Amino acid sequence: MLVTLGRTTVEEIAGEAGVSRATVYRAFPGGREEIVAALVDSQLDAFFDDLADHVRDAPDFESMLVRGLMHAHAGMVDHRLLQRVLDVEPELVLPELQRRSRSLVGDIADFLRPYLAAAELCDDVDVDETCRWLARLTLSFIGNPGSWDLTDECETTRLVRSQFLAGVVRRP
Amino acid sequence: MPTLAVRQCVRYCLIVSRTAVAGRLALDPPGSLERRIIDAARDCCGRYGWSKTTLDDIARSAGLSRATLYRAFPGGRAAVKAAVTRYETVDFFQQIEAELVGVDDLPTMLTVGLTAASRRLADDADLQFSLQHEPGEVLPQFLFRGLDDIFSLCRVFVAPHLQRFLGADEAVATSELLARLVVMHLLSPGGSVDLTDRSAAEHLVRTRILPGLAVRVPTAPSSDTGGAASELHANSPAPLAAATHGR
């Protein structure tokens, strides 16, 4: 994509797609805003489908989180469209991402639940609540890792042990 | 006693580095041109929201000409907005720091940090208005790269206080975690934990934050137990190599 979303007009999108403006509006009656929302949805779905595939066969819960954080971080850094939009016009895409974050937390929590339930848990851990907690933390770290180096497996493991799983999963 | 010397040295280094950073973070003094513009912009924003505030509104409210305003902020509206955000963020962290100063134990300090910050944000009517009606104007401060500024202020205003109980790297990592939790709460209140509620925050600290920390005994009159404290915690994170580098 050569131009940024905010300055992209429906005409340009129609021209690029080889359809008329009317056809675009038939598919997206809300015009540009609706197209941005659909684009965010499809990018997020692709991102998290890929992430799920990448972690599905992890040997245990801890390595699932480590693998997931590292893969998601790399995917974020390499996501050219997202990086470009964050550079140029974050105000356009962040409300959409924020709007989707609630359902994302639910989806990630659902994904984690069977794996967490199979792990050896500390006393008084509520599986549903903990899954949502871990999902929210995961999104926060994908957005910005702070001073943690999520390209380093040892460091990511330390992060997961100290800030994700301490008090949740028993360590051998 | 060598331990005391080390302690004093660490404290001295902290103060020196702290002063160096704080110099760059100083707020524009009341009465300065910049401050007059910032105050006027905050006033306008409070009345109309950011998206409806123009540079002319700010100039009129400050009783200044557009030209004067541009002289102070050559970047125009975007520069004024950035200055307001910076002013409010530094001011926010100064208030939070003031709440941490007299606290004598780690669990209370973590709890106070979470509740004081969350309450302050929940009570900020302008911020809540913007989140509700013009999220594009404020979300960039709290998501993705916007967190960089918040984290670096955590290192200056919060981490040094946590360092009374934690190693330097762990103090930084923990201050960032607190910021994450406060931002998570701000952006989706009514989620799992209400951080404006003291007992809920206390519970979170006890069950989710403390178990991941190797807590240092603050002042040890019986110094022969020095090494025991960290051995008690099998999952104490090793020093965070990249803790203080800028990203």
Query: Contact A143/B135, CB-based, under 8 Å?
Result: no
Report if residue A24 sits inside a domain. Answer: no
Nearest CA to B230 out of B243, B239, B221 is that of: B239
Per-residue pLDDT tens over the stretch A97-108 = 998 998 999 999
Angle at which helices A32-55 and A61-78 cross, to 10°: 140
Q: Alpha-carbon distance B88 to B82, whole Å?
A: 10
- What is the domain count for chain A? 1
> What's the CATH fold of domain B2-215?
Tetracycline Repressor; domain 2 (1.10.357)
| Closest CA of chain A from B144, distance in Å | 5
| DSSP result, A64-114 | HHHHHHHHHHHHHHH-HHHHHHHHH-HHHHHHHHHHHHHHHHHHHHHHHHH
Report if residue A136 sits inside a domain. Answer: yes
Angle at which helices B55-62 and B33-48 cross, to 10°: 120
Report if residue A30 sits inside a domain. Answer: no
Domain ranges across chain B: 2-215
User: pLDDT of chain B along its 247 residues, tens only?
Assistant: 444 454 444 444 444 445 445 545 677 888 889 999 999 999 998 888 888 899 999 999 999 999 999 999 999 988 999 999 999 999 999 999 999 999 999 999 999 999 999 999 999 999 999 999 999 999 999 999 999 999 999 999 999 999 999 999 999 999 999 999 999 999 987 676 899 999 999 999 999 999 999 766 555 444 444 333 433 343 434 333 333 343 3
Report if residue A19 sits inside a domain. Answer: no
Closest chain B residue to A163, measured at CA: B212
Report if residue A28 sits inside a domain. Answer: no
Q: Within an 8 Å CB–CB cutoff, is residue B143 touching chain A?
A: yes
Structure ipTM: 0.90
Enclosing domain of residue A84: 35-165
Closest chain A residue to B153, measured at CA: A146
Query: A145: domain CATH number?
Result: 1.10.357
User: pLDDT of chain A along its 172 residues, tens only?
Assistant: 444 566 677 888 888 888 988 888 898 888 888 888 888 899 999 999 999 999 999 999 999 999 999 999 999 999 988 888 888 888 888 999 998 998 999 999 999 999 999 999 999 899 999 999 999 999 999 999 999 999 999 999 999 999 999 999 997 6
